[in-house]
Amino acid sequence: MVKKVGVLIIGGGPAGLVSAITAKRYYPDKDVVVMKNVVNGCIPCGIPYMFWSLKNPDDNKLGLDALKKNNIEVIIDEAVKMDRSAKKITAKSGEEYEYEKLVLAPGSMPIKPSIAGIEKEGIYPVYKDMNYLKAIITKLKKAKNVLILGGGFIGVEFADEISKINDINVYLAEVLPRLLANSFDDEFSLLVEERLKSGGVTLLTSTKVVEFLGDDKIKGVRFDNGKELRIDSVILGIGSVPNTTLATEAGLDLGRGKGIWVDEYMRTADPDIFAVGDCAGKRDFYTRRDTPVMLASTATAEARIAGANLYRLKVVRENKGTIAIYSTYVDGLVLGSAGLTETSAKKEGFEIVSGNTESIDKHPGSLPGANKVRVKLIFSRQSGILMGGQVVGGISAGEIINIIGMAIQQRVSVTELETLQMATHPYLTSAPTMYPVVLAAQNASDKM
Amino acid sequence: MVKKVGVLIIGGGPAGLVSAITAKRYYPDKDVVVMKNVVNGCIPCGIPYMFWSLKNPDDNKLGLDALKKNNIEVIIDEAVKMDRSAKKITAKSGEEYEYEKLVLAPGSMPIKPSIAGIEKEGIYPVYKDMNYLKAIITKLKKAKNVLILGGGFIGVEFADEISKINDINVYLAEVLPRLLANSFDDEFSLLVEERLKSGGVTLLTSTKVVEFLGDDKIKGVRFDNGKELRIDSVILGIGSVPNTTLATEAGLDLGRGKGIWVDEYMRTADPDIFAVGDCAGKRDFYTRRDTPVMLASTATAEARIAGANLYRLKVVRENKGTIAIYSTYVDGLVLGSAGLTETSAKKEGFEIVSGNTESIDKHPGSLPGANKVRVKLIFSRQSGILMGGQVVGGISAGEIINIIGMAIQQRVSVTELETLQMATHPYLTSAPTMYPVVLAAQNASDKM
């Protein structure tokens, strides 16, 4: 049987969810259907916190109430074939769907590195599937020696969480000499490393795993320096690749990166097919090069554009390109990064000036709960335009990075930041004389 | 004896301090002197918190270390006369100072309303003087029935703080029907009122004091409705007026408001005399009308402009005008306001659309320390440009209002906000699907 659908959305993560809701907002007369292959999905960024912070992992379920409330149908099935000329999707169950507009939001798959022994029991990629994750959590709570592979955000957050479970030794292995090296300059990475070490995590930076040891079940790892370690569980946190099989098999182009090529309105080469989120290619804000940013927040921004423009172009998409904008939490230490770091800007070939400042996030600093806050801003030397920023501090640093992100997206200049009008309050922010975003801009301006 | 000075700054509050440091940054060869009439000043916004939150009120001292470190001389004296043709200031001590450039930053004085009995002992205006305030704190801790006059930020923060001292009954009287009515729409004011009431504060809105009762010392108050109340201490929190005497006596113009007229570079009518902070006139961001915003954060933004432009115009001041941007903290409830409210925008004659949303400031919401967060955004209906915003939530709301403030100053449109790229993290922000600034913009867009 062939079912006719107005808007068919493949994928039930944040990208699919927001595409569906936005589609219904703009085109209320169209029926919108979400097809997802996992019964219970997860809030992606909440996955590490299912291991310890959340006493009940089910709290991290990606709720579908918003879909039901908006009269959006959810089908549990998997799209296996796309026929573009017939505008038809065939699902694993054999059902067929004819769409007017199709949104591809199947996300990404965790990378399984080609290391000897990778298929042994006890080595866990992070799939966004509630039942799968709950099974791992149960197993991991009985583990003794856990290795986290990869020192990016996922690896760091997993290491922090799992180190809080009693009687587990946590090792974090990263090929590069620093953790979070793609998003932070060394002085910030150092703070994360110190915090993890003081929480009992053993850091193995500049270290490569060459073999997983043991029979069926993992018993240890061997590193490139010849050393071996007794390990009973491994979590793979070395990144993901876009899910593009369905698209490429139907002849849709990929961009110069690995994602599906999309235009400014998230349309693929076929104007009736959109792609959003991890599966879609992204162009860098600064260089227009393809960039591998995979973030739920980016995915939702794209989904809002796609959903609005399905039948008629409605939301003017000013092509600002994608910025990498992240925040993380390591045992109470909050870090944020937006845009380019000093290292990545120089590598890219930009002539830059950086400005630094350190302050306290309340004033006076003796108020309860005050934290040091440190801001670094990166400006283009000639134009004085903000290109990136990093912050470390307490809880409020999680929104300070969004002030910086807004400024980057608006191409704000160092002069505008120096004379910014901001709200300050003893319990909430640094003193007005010491507001870190302004003072870091001043520091950069002094060097120009 | 006449002392010759490069840059003379009158006033040692945040405006004077930042003017001095900025002057030294841009003109390191000039000697910079700060004249202040109070030996120990206070961080202005920290004053309410000297009464309870800070166990030692001295922690709220406005430190002068930054001045000393920058080789800036501090003189404790009061400027009493200005001779503009001789470019000379005469101090109370009789000393005379010849300046090349003068910066007026004498601040403002608390308003003493002309109510019968206002001079009685036990009625305290809030002067920014450490010794004066410490004496009041000592007296107030023995009080039984305290009346706070004025339901703006100062009044609300004092009421919250003083209600935490054991065995004091706190009354808060406001002429208008709502608290914080100039900065928040009713639905936000209501939350503050509820929070104060649950903390034991008795609210007397739509109520005017007509007489302070008692002999030398205050024993009670009479209201316009005829009722009387036993009161032994009163704190005046009904606003301030700019200190302009020195300037007007020397023939400098005031603006159409009550502050000293200044150009885009904070120069008064006399190009060698600058005025910054509470004493200086401000032009509204939206209407160019004179506006009575008196904020330390605004003062420091102005001081950074003045300090840079003293001898040569260096920092291009794009005349964006002054926005009111505030945050406050009431017994754990955090509120922020930037730009126009719905009420003030309509009163001003703008055709506006508002967008509202409610979310949780962590995700999932079961993470420890999660708070509801509510955002309201006000857009110009025709242009879709952001004109104002209000937020209520937990600690991070103190920086969310600065994201909104940045967006207002950059004249960001509703479409840009709908497609904003932001960092989200379980412990730090709402979910990307629920990021309140984006969702409030969407809600407004739905109505356009």
- Those residues whose C-beta lies under 8 Å from the C-beta of residue A36, and which sit 6 or more positions away, are A11, A12, A16, A74, A75, A76
> Are B132 and B151 in the same domain?
yes
Give dist(CA A40, CA A43) in Å, integer. Answer: 10
A386-421 residue pLDDT tens: 999 999 999 999 999 999 999 999 999 999 999 999
> Are A346 and A369 in the same domain?
yes
The distance in angstroms from the start CA to the end CA of chain B is: 68
For residue B319, the model assigns a pLDDT of 67
CA separation, residue A441 to residues A46, A404, B235 (Å)? 33, 11, 39
Total domains in chain A come to 3
> Are A105 and A245 in the same domain?
yes
Within 13 A of A19's CA, how many CA atoms are on the CB side?
35
398-417 in chain A: CB under 8 A from chain B? 398-403, 405-407, 409-410, 412, 415-416
B35-80 residue pLDDT tens: 999 888 898 999 999 999 998 999 999 888 889 999 999 999 999 9
> Are B256 and B221 in the same domain?
no
For residue B335, the model assigns a pLDDT of 97
Which residue among A190, A205, A238 closes a domain?
A238
Name the residue range of residue A365's domain.
332-447
CB contact under 8 A, A396 and B396: yes
Contact A247, A234 (CB under 8 A): no
> What is the secondary structure of A113-147 as a DSSP string?
---BTTTSBTEEE--SBHHHHHHHHHHHTT-SEEE
Contact A27, A6 (CB under 8 A): yes
Is residue A139 one of the residues assigned to a domain? yes
> What does DSSP say about strands B73-76 and B32-36: parallel, antiparallel, or unpaired?
parallel
Global model pTM greater than 0.90:
yes
Q: Which of A234, A210, A242, A204 is nearest to A223 (CA)?
A: A210
User: Does pLDDT of B184 surpass 80?
Assistant: yes
**Chain B residue at shortest CA distance from A64:** B433
Written as one letter, the residue type at B58 is D
For residue B315, the model assigns a pLDDT of 74
Is residue A382 one of the residues assigned to a domain? yes
CB contact under 8 A, A423 and B327: yes
> Are B100 and B142 in the same domain?
no
Give dist(CA A139, CA A132) in Å, integer. Answer: 11
Is residue B24 one of the residues assigned to a domain? yes
330-389 in chain A: CB under 8 A from chain B? 334, 336-338, 363-364, 366-368
For residue A319, the model assigns a pLDDT of 67
Is residue A179 one of the residues assigned to a domain? yes
> What is the secondary structure of A24-55 as a DSSP string?
HHH-TTS-EEEEES-SSBB-GGGGGGGTTTSS
CA distance A301 to chain B (A): 5
Which residue among B238, B262, B295 closes a domain?
B238
Number of A:B CB contacts under 8 A? 263
Contact A260, A281 (CB under 8 A): yes
Q: Kindly report whether the peptide bond that precedes residue B271 is cis, defined as omega within 30 degrees of 0.
A: no
Is residue A314 one of the residues assigned to a domain? no
> Are A119 and A193 in the same domain?
yes
**How open is the CA angle B274-B276-B278, to the nearest 5 degrees?**
140
For residue A214, the model assigns a pLDDT of 96
B399-426 residue pLDDT tens: 999 999 999 999 999 999 999 999 999 9
For residue B439, the model assigns a pLDDT of 96
For residue B362, the model assigns a pLDDT of 94
Say yes or no: A137 contacts chain B, CB-CB below 8 A. no
Q: Tell me phi and psi for residue B194, to 5 degrees.
A: -60, -40
Is residue A318 one of the residues assigned to a domain? no
Residues from chain A that touch B433, judged by Cβ atoms under 8 A, are 14, 17-18, 66, 296, 300
CB contact under 8 A, A54 and B14: no
User: Does pLDDT of B254 surpass 70?
Assistant: yes
For residue B318, the model assigns a pLDDT of 66
> Are B67 and B214 in the same domain?
no
Give dist(CA B331, CA B191) in Å, integer. Answer: 11
Q: Assign residue B418 the CATH number of its domain.
A: 3.30.390.30
> Are B104 and B249 in the same domain?
yes
Contact B51, B140 (CB under 8 A): yes
Tokens of B292: 């009575």
Interface mutation vs chain B, best among A22, A164, A419, A439, most B CBs within 10 Å:
A419
CA separation, residue A83 to residues A3, A249, B220 (Å)? 14, 9, 84
Is residue B271 one of the residues assigned to a domain? yes
Q: Could you give the percent of chain B with pLDDT greater than 90? A: 88
Largest CA distance in chain A: 70
Q: If you average pLDDT over residues B333-346, what whole number do you get?
A: 96
For residue B328, the model assigns a pLDDT of 97
CB contact under 8 A, A422 and B49: no
Count the Cβ atoms, other than its own, within 10 Å of residue A289: 13
Give dist(CA A63, CA A54) in Å, integer. Answer: 16
For residue A65, the model assigns a pLDDT of 86
Which residue among B238, B268, B294 closes a domain?
B238
**Chain A residue at shortest CA distance from B415:** A315
Contact B237, B161 (CB under 8 A): no
**Chain A residue at shortest CA distance from B363:** A46
Q: If you average pLDDT over residues B347-353, what whole number do you get?
A: 95
CA distance B252 to chain A (A): 25
**Chain A residue at shortest CA distance from B25:** A446
Determine the 3-state secondary structure of A335 from DSSP. strand
> Are A105 and A116 in the same domain?
no
> Are A93 and A234 in the same domain?
no
Helices (H), A163-221: 186-198
Which candidate from B18, B325, B403 shows the least CB-CB separation from A421?
Answer: B325
Is residue B341 one of the residues assigned to a domain? yes
> Are A412 and A442 in the same domain?
yes
Q: Assign residue B167 the CATH number of its domain.
A: 3.50.50.60
Tokens of A153: 């955000």
- Low-confidence stretches of chain A (pLDDT < 50) are none
> Are B13 and B81 in the same domain?
yes
For residue B278, the model assigns a pLDDT of 95
B283-334 residue pLDDT tens: 999 888 888 889 999 999 999 999 999 999 887 776 688 999 999 999 999 9
